[in-house]
């Protein structure tokens, strides 16, 4: 009896996790080269580096997502705050 209850509980838990995972897929955004807007990076980065802001606002407090396009011949120091 304990094993049967445990397996039913496990199935219910798996089902709930599955539903939560599927519902989170609606929040996924796909970026393709055609829908990314590239701009020159701000100083102190070289103007040959391009930046695209995908989500959020880097000038404000909070989370944001950016993508950098850096030519192969550019050397820069990268750090995370």
Instruction: Write the pLDDT tens digit of every residue in 10-28.
Output: 778 887 877 776 665 566 7
Q: What is the pLDDT of residue 81?
A: 63
Burial 66-76 (b: 16+ CB within 10 A, else e): eeeebeeeeee
Domain extents for the chain? Answer: 2-69
List Cβ neighbours of 42 (8 Å cut-off, separation of 6 or more).
51
Residue 4 has pLDDT above 80, yes or no: no
pTM for the model stands at: 0.55
Residue 2 has pLDDT above 50, yes or no: no
Distance (Å, whole) CA 48 – CA 70: 7
Instruction: Write the pLDDT tens digit of every residue in 27-79.
Output: 677 888 888 999 998 888 888 889 999 988 988 999 898 998 888 887 766 66
């Amino acid at each position: 009896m304990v094993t049967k209850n445990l397996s039913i509980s496990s199935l219910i838990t798996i089902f709930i996790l599955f539903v939560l995972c599927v519902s989170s897929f609606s929040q996924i955004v796909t970026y393709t080269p055609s829908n990314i807007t590239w701009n020159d990076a701000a100083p102190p980065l070289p103007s040959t580096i391009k930046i695209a802001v995908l989500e959020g606002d880097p000038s404000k407090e909070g989370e944001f997502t950016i993508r950098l396009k850096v030519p192969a011949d550019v050397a820069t120091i990268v750090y995370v705050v």
